[in-house]
Amino acid sequence: MDHPIAPAGITRRRALTVTGGMLAGAALATHAFPAFAGESQDADAIVVGHGLAGLVATAELAAAGRKVLLLDQEPEASLGGQAFWSFGGLFFVDSEEQRLMGVKDTHDLAWQDWLGSAGFDRGVADPAGQDHWAYKWAEAYVDFASGEKRSWLAGLGVQWFPIVGWAERGGGLADGHGNSVPRFHVTWGTGPAVVEPFEKKVRAAVAAGKAGFRFRHRVDGIVTTGGAVTGVRGAVLEPSTAARGKPSSRTVIGEFELRAPVVVVTSGGIGANHDLVRQNWPARLGTPPKTMITGVPAHVDGRMLAITERAGGRIVNPDRMWHYTEGLRNYDPIWPGHGIRILPGPSSMWFDATGKRFGTPDIPGYDTLHTLGSITASGYDYSWFVTTQKIIAKEFALSGSEQNPDLTNKNVWQLLSRIWQTPEPIEKFKKNGADFVVATTLSELVAGMNKLTGENLIDLARLKAQIEARDREMDNPYTKDVQVMGIRNALSYIGDSLSRTAPAHRILDPSAGPLIAVRLNVLTRKTLGGLQTDLSGRVLGASGEPVPGLYAAGEVAGFGGGGVHGYRSLEGTFLGGCLFSGRQAGRAAAAATAT
């Protein structure tokens, strides 16, 4: 079912008179910009959204000599958007890091995994189908990840931690969902280091008079003339000193209208808008949780989807989304409802709210959306890890740049300290987080779990029987327990054995303690559907034709084509999707505005 949004297209330069004028210039005094392109237009291109995709598109336009304005409703402190907060994971195929780890990867294997995960089934061969362009973008992206992606970023100074992570290991079949091999490359410096080279390029373009920032400019409408995009209009918001990620004021102090023959929408997804998440929640994932925590700042509100739709664009696959099942309530929140995701290794036991162990493929790190469906089917909004100190010390990582100061700050000695101690951010959550229960005995643990929820759903005898059954499977190097098979499989990969998988042991072994239970909340995060775009990033309308002058990139476009991931992600592909689609749209928009 389509959900209307904006089309794409860029064909010719237009000259129209500025009608909006600039009110409240004092709010922008520190970011003056030149008179662009001529008396009748403000720029060759306007980019809406200063996250990663917007920075990449702006950098490409400026490098091609185009005059570009970069607008965002947030203050300068939030430049880089959600990418800044990310762990910095990137999906590469047959990389130097993989080869160093002994991983044999190929384009064909990656494409097999992508198709098995995406499950494209909505008119791939039909030009009007929702998956038609998504499939083409997927082909192009896997080519990119197997080809120049790594060398392009390395040429910009980006580096990666040498141990490649193995995310989304899948549902158990070679041609089904999941990564057959480790492909999750953590950027040295995490998300900020991915943003940095493109922010530098844009700031240099501003200094050279090729680009201009328009912070605190909230776009409320895309202006069209004769069916073609000719600019944007909206409100100037009062200046804000809000720190990065903190909610900023929505007080309007003026209006604006800016003119350009090209508008590139890079405004992100809907993850902070729980009403919109629930509105688009698919029946296949069960009933939307009544309670969710939020993995993105409040400004990730999805506003530009409807605005672009009104300008003629088409939204496809709005029911495809990516929310995590291992969310923790942040004891020191930055944005409202701030949640942090555990990136788990394979050893913690996973139970529903009533204490029933999940079956395959609902194993930590294997199949995010299947597990999400299992959680909603349980009738509760949360689930549990039951684990040990030995496991969390080796296997727990927290998503986000701020939760990984060693990697983010490129501190080698702090990073090496993970060898002999539990990372400090994990220990802080264990001590201060609302979702942790720590105990020396199983009976004390169960009492704590029931006290935490106030529901008394966990029966000690039942939980003990399930844990003991699993523990008996640890006595041999072979087993019928799929999770234990997965642990031994992980330990056969040097990257996991070095840094991400604890030695196989019994959960109830006192020497591995204390015992730890972690309440896991559903954490909103990514929009997999969005504006349908062709391979140039042009937004398509209901007829399948590009809307002249309109482009989109990043999450608002489903990371390309209105849903490059299909139903499921292989992980490490969100930042990469912003990079690739931002580059495609920026280069195409630059070519279309050439004189």
Q: Which helix (H) or strand (E) holds 414?
A: helix 412-416
Q: Percent of the chain at pLDDT above 70?
A: 93
- Taking residues 137-162, report their average pLDDT: 98
Q: Using CA atoms, how far apart are residues 302 and 300, in angstroms rounded to an integer? A: 6
- Taking residues 396-405, report their average pLDDT: 95
Q: Which tens digit of pLDDT belongs to each residue from 276-325? A: 999 999 999 999 999 999 999 999 999 999 999 999 999 999 999 999 99
Both structure tokens of 402: 């701020």
Nearest alpha-carbon partner for 346 in 462, 459, 472, 493: 493
DSSP 252-291: EEEEEEEE-S-EEE----STT-HHHHHHH--GGG-SPPSS
Nearest alpha-carbon partner for 160 in 90, 102, 56, 94: 90
b (16+ CB within 10 A) / e for 227-266: ebbbbbbbbbbebbeeebbbebeeebebebbbbbbbbbbb
Q: Which tens digit of pLDDT belongs to each residue from 453-498? A: 999 999 999 999 999 999 999 999 999 999 999 999 999 999 999 9
Reply yes or no on whether the pLDDT at 22 is more than 50: no
| 3-state SS assignment for residue 430 | helix
Q: How far is CA 353 from CA 192, 247, 357, 382, 520, in A?
A: 36, 32, 10, 6, 9
For the chain, the average pLDDT equals 93
pLDDT at 237: 98
Instruction: Please report which confidence band the pLDDT of residue 417 belongs to, taking 50, 70 and 90 as the band edges.
Output: confident
pLDDT at 172: 86
Cis peptide before 318 (omega within 30 of 0): no
Per DSSP, helices labelled H in 26-118 are 52-63, 96-100, 107-118
With 0-12 CB in 10 A as exposed, 13-18 as middle and 19+ as buried, what is 164?
Answer: buried
Whether 168 and 567 have beta carbons less than 8 Å apart is answered as no
Nearest alpha-carbon partner for 184 in 170, 168, 167: 167
Name residue 234's beta-bridge partners: 219, 256
Reply yes or no on whether the pLDDT at 161 is more than 60: yes
Q: Which tens digit of pLDDT belongs to each residue from 68-87? A: 999 999 999 999 999 999 99
Name residue 235's beta-bridge partners: 218, 255
Nearest alpha-carbon partner for 9 in 311, 267, 220, 305: 311
Reply yes or no on whether the pLDDT at 37 is more than 60: no
- Taking residues 85-108, report their average pLDDT: 98
pLDDT at 39: 54
Residue type, 421: Q
Q: Which tens digit of pLDDT belongs to each residue from 577-586? A: 999 999 999 9
With 0-12 CB in 10 A as exposed, 13-18 as middle and 19+ as buried, what is 25?
Answer: exposed
DSSP 342-399: EE--S-SEEEETTSPBP-TT-STTT-HHHHHHHHHHTTSSEEEEEEEHHHHHHH-EE-
Q: Which tens digit of pLDDT belongs to each residue from 346-386? A: 999 999 999 999 999 999 999 999 999 999 999 999 999 99
Q: Which tens digit of pLDDT belongs to each residue from 422-462? A: 999 999 999 999 999 999 999 999 999 999 999 999 999 99
Nearest alpha-carbon partner for 202 in 84, 71, 334, 7: 71
HSE at residue 189, side-chain half, CA atoms within 13 A, is 12
pTM of the entire predicted model: 0.92
| Cα 482 to the center of its chain, rounded Å | 29
Residue type, 263: V
Instruction: Please report which confidence band the pLDDT of residue 11 belongs to, taking 50, 70 and 90 as the band edges.
Output: very low
Instruction: Please report which confidence band the pLDDT of residue 17 belongs to, taking 50, 70 and 90 as the band edges.
Output: very low
Name residue 324's beta-bridge partners: 523
Instruction: Please report which confidence band the pLDDT of residue 27 belongs to, taking 50, 70 and 90 as the band edges.
Output: very low
pLDDT at 15: 29
Whether 87 and 400 have beta carbons less than 8 Å apart is answered as yes
pLDDT at 416: 86
